């Protein structure tokens, strides 16, 4: 599933959240988001008004995985097993919901016979949101930090998302939210209500285009371990 995406700039993010709390203008984040990178989110929970913050991508940051435990990834949370996975169940039951802003995200498309990095976003190129969960972690210095994951659903029948990933693999999609859905998603006070948002976004409002890595990025990626979408904990 999605392990890399393009977040909005700080100016774009602050310009879109209007009624929500704004981030300080001097806060920054990388122009592409990968595991353990910081990125902006809107978070909420019962008793907590929607709030903008910067959080680490992956519900369990690598720095919080004990040294005797094999590293695992928690960037994506399967909707079908939210109540079963230790990394996600507490936040889901507590309705610690977040909305992750994006300009586009990346998936591999094999229609040419080999994996081609493909960007997926809105047909009108607008910013959109992805449904997710968040939690807090206490850091070594005693401070608190936020982390988040994105929720995914089966996409075997979605006209666009079923084109992604290796032939024979299950097709998955992020849960995309429009601007008019974000407030209601974050305001969910019942698990059934929250689950009603875990549905497909209209394919006709989306588009996909080739997005190959630049040569220097390809070389750097070849020297790094390949990301694995593990949801074992």
Task: Strands of 142-205 (E only): list them.
Answer: 144-154, 172-174, 176-177
**Per-residue pLDDT at 19:** 58
C-alpha 193: how far from chain center: 20
| DSSP label at residue 167 | T
- The H or E element spanning position 9 is none
Closest CA to 232 of 14, 3, 22, 70: 70
Tokens matching residue 230? 């593990």
Cα gap 54→13, rounded to integer Å: 11
Q: Report the predicted TM-score, pTM, of the whole model to 2 decimal places.
A: 0.89
pLDDT of residue 90: 97
Q: Which pLDDT does position 228 carry in this prediction? A: 36
Give the pLDDT of residue 213.
82
CB distance 110 to 121 below 8 Å? no
Per-block mean pLDDT, blocks of 10 residues, the chain (233 long): 89 80 83 96 92 95 92 95 96 98 96 94 96 95 95 97 94 95 95 97 97 65 40 30
137 burial (CB, 10 Å; 0-12 / 13-18 / 19+) is middle
How far CA 194 is from CA of 80, 158, 202, in Å, comes to 13, 21, 19
- Residue 129 is predicted with a pLDDT of 97
Residue with tokens 């593990």: 230
The pLDDT tens digits for 58-74 are 999 999 999 999 989 99
CB 10 within 8 A of CB 114: no
The whole-number pLDDT of residue 27 equals 86
pLDDT at 74: 95
Q: Which of 106, 119, 8 is nearest to 54 (CA)?
A: 8
* 70 Rama class: left (phi>0) / alpha (psi -120 to 50) / beta: beta
Q: Which tens digit of pLDDT belongs to each residue from 18-61?
A: 657 778 878 889 999 999 999 999 999 999 889 999 999 999 99
Residue written as tokens 């005797």? Answer: 68
């Amino acid at each position: 599933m999605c392990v890399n995406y393009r977040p909005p700039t700080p100016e774009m993010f602050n310009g879109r959240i209007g009624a929500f709390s704004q981030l300080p203008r001097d806060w920054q984040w990388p122009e592409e988001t990968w595991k353990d990178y910081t990125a902006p989110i809107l978070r909420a929970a019962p008793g907590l008004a929607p709030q903008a913050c910067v959080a680490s991508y992956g519900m369990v940051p690598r720095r919080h995985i004990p040294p005797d435990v094999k590293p695992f990834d928690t960037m994506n949370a399967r909707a079908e097993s939210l109540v079963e996975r230790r990394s996600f169940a507490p936040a889901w039951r507590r309705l610690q919901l977040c909305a992750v802003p994006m300009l586009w995200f990346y998936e591999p498309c094999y229609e040419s016979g080999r994996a081609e990095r493909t960007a997926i976003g809105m047909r009108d190129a607008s910013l959109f949101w992805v449904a997710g969960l968040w939690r807090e972690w206490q850091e070594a210095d005693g401070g608190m930090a936020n982390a988040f994951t994105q929720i995914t659903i089966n996409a075997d029948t979605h006209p666009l998302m079923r084109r992604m990933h290796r032939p024979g693999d299950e097709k998955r999609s992020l849960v995309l939210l429009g601007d008019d859905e974000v407030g209601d998603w974050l305001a969910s006070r019942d698990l059934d209500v929250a689950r009603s948002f875990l549905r497909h976004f209209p394919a006709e409002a989306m588009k996909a285009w080739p997005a190959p890595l630049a040569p220097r990025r390809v070389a750097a990626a070849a020297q790094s371990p390949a990301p694995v979408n593990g949801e074992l904990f």
